[in-house]
Amino acid sequence: MQQRELGSTGLMFKAIGLGAMPLSIGGRPDAAQAFAVIEAFIAGGGDFIDTANVYCLDDDDIGHNERLIRQALDQLGVTDRVLVATKGGLRRPGGAWVVDGDPDWLRLSCERSLQALQADCIGLYQLHAIDPKVDFRRSLEALVKLKEDGKIRHLGLSNVSPAQLEQALDFTLIASVQNHCNLFDKRDFQNGMIDFCRARHITYIPYSPVGGHHGHVRLAREPSLQRLADQYQASPHRIALAWLLHKGRHILPIPGASKVASIRDSLRATELRLSAEDIAALDRLPDR
């Protein structure tokens, strides 16, 4: 089974995680279906789930995804063997997505996430986005203080540039970077982020690793992907995930899922061994 280490922590996880956001935002499945998705992920060997306090409908629904995950893991009896990575640094007023990196909000968000997850310490806590209205160092200081207080074990960043990551590393250890990345969005390959993470032993977590809804549509229409799907007897979705896995042993994709069949298919990406020629052909697919 392919595995990935979280940074240089020694913690190892199956190479495909679960992006749990679709289970709690608009159009979310009912509780029984959401539970079935998490259950299928665990049954397939999954042990890394990504969430955030703002994976919900609006500010009145904050923590929905975290509570859902905790309840499912408790029912399955696997709470101790699954790492739930969460985030802070956004708000959801009226359902909008608003960045808020104020230290007071980050501290309150972390405390609320601890309550929602019924945990004493969060294994991986990620700054959801950098707030241009707040000095980045002040946001980092708040997170480091939470770590010193034993509320956070490891720190991660999301939606950051290579320069911002370097700035953070001058201040504290960073275990992971979570950015948008897939076959149709290769910015972090082109700007050096993925190579930099490899060199610094930082886990790179691609979110929307098959491109979200529009990516799914494009995957199904791309002739070269359909050819590879036929060749490997796998879905285009699985081919796209396997391509990411081949790009580095520090890369841990977190495909979203709201259906059992989707997460089962995603987990099987670890079984694919793409040829160098086929990887090169996928590299040549145009972005966006």
Q: Is 55 an annotated catalytic residue? A: yes
- CA 22 to chain CA centroid, nearest Å: 12
Q: Is 276 exposed, middle or buried (0-12, 13-18, 19+ CB in 10 A)?
A: exposed
Q: How far is CA 101 from CA 205, 233, 274, 276, in A?
A: 21, 45, 41, 42
> Residue 85 forms beta bridges with which residues?
50, 124
Per annotation, catalytic residue among 55, 125, 204, 207: 55
The 3-class SS string of the chain reads CCEEECCCCCCEEECCCEECHHHCCCCCCCHHHHHHHHHHHHHCCCCEEECCCCCCCCHHHCCHHHHHHHHHHHHHCCHHHCEEEEEECEECHHHCCEECCCHHHHHHHHHHHHHHHCCCCEEEEEECCCCCCCCHHHHHHHHHHHHHCCCEEEEEEECCCHHHHHHHHCCCCCCEEEEECECCECHHHHCCHHHHHHHCCCEEEEECCCCHHHHHHHHHHCHHHHHHHHHHCCCHHHHHHHHHHHCCCCECCCCECCCHHHHHHHHHHHHCCCCHHHHHHHHCCCCC
Q: Which residues are known catalytic residues?
A: 55
